[in-house]
Chains A and B, each alone.
Chain A
Amino acid sequence: MMEHYAFFLVGAYGMFALAIVVEVVAVRARLRRARLQRGTPR
């Protein structure tokens, strides 16, 4: 039964996981960049 809806479940849960991964990577990179630039003139 689950196989019948696999495309939709994978499409929804896959994007959910992807969005979280992208956001976490982006925030991590932003914080790292901000810390590296600390003390440098704007």
Chain B
Amino acid sequence: MSINWFKYASPASFLPLSATLAPWFLAVAALLGAIGLYLGLVVAPTDATQGDAYRIIFIHVPTAWMAMLIYVVMAAWSALALGYNTRLSAMMAQALAPTGAAMAFLALWTGAFWGRPTWGTYWAWDARMTSTLILLFLYFGVIALRSAIDDPRRADRACAVLSLVGVVNVPIIYFSVKWWNTLHQGSSISLTGAPSMAMSMLAAMLVMTFAVWSYCIGVVLWRVQAIIVERENGAAWLAQRAPA
């Protein structure tokens, strides 16, 4: 059986699909979030050196990963929008930006609240923190650029170019702890090496990562419905649909 993916490149087909999928992703996020918070705040042991302050890791790392991942996904949709001129791709990129900005903000905020008890400061102009701050400003830039241009198709193209240019920042964030020897610690887990943390801590972090991931997918699929209805307002296919 083959799936005709191009069918879902049309807002008319994607609107009902996203309406069906979004609540499932949000429900999975709530369930995994509850399990992850229980594992992280109750089951995982207190850290030998950082005490309980380290428990911020269970939201800091997932939000930081999502901030980077969402930017890459936004740039990929932008590339599709530029290459194929598909409306839905630009709408998906538009829907991703606010959630990405929220994740980048949360990564910086939770990092500050972790930094104060462990490093003695809320903020330092460290390579990883500064590049993550630039990521937040890139998200703000994409959102502001879109609202500054009245014609949605022109806004799509301008935002797509900005997203594609800005994606160079993501590997800089990722490798910043290796390239520059500054305050932020290196990765505690990697795909190739053994994790440098207890298994219960790792389990809680991974569960929270899937929870935040599922939340991001759910909320973006939810927001894209609003964007589709806003931008396709007046289109025949939308007028023919039964009122939601």
Contact = CB atoms under 8 A, between A and B. Distances in A.
Interface of A: 1-2, 4-5, 8-9, 11-13, 15-16, 19-20, 23-24, 27-28, 30-31, 33-35, 37-42
Interface stretch (B123-131, B135-143, B177-185, B233-241): B233-241
A5 B53 contact: yes
B223 A16 contact: no
A41 B233 CA distance: 8
A11 B113 CA distance: 7
Contact of A30 (B63, B226, B234, B243): B226
A8 B117 contact: yes
Contacts, number: 85
B52 A31 contact: no
A1 B46 contact: yes
A35 B110 contact: no
A24 B221 CA distance: 12
B155 interface: no
A31 B229 contact: yes
User: Which interface class (under 10, 10 to 19, 20 to 34, 35 or more) fits B?
Assistant: 35 or more
Interface of B: 46, 51-53, 55-56, 59-60, 63, 98-99, 102, 105-106, 109-110, 113-114, 116-117, 215, 219, 222-223, 225-227, 229-230, 233-234, 238-239, 243-244
B114 A12 contact: yes
Contacts of A35: 229, 243-244
A9 B42 CA distance: 13
A4 B46 CA distance: 12
Contacts of B222: 27-28, 31
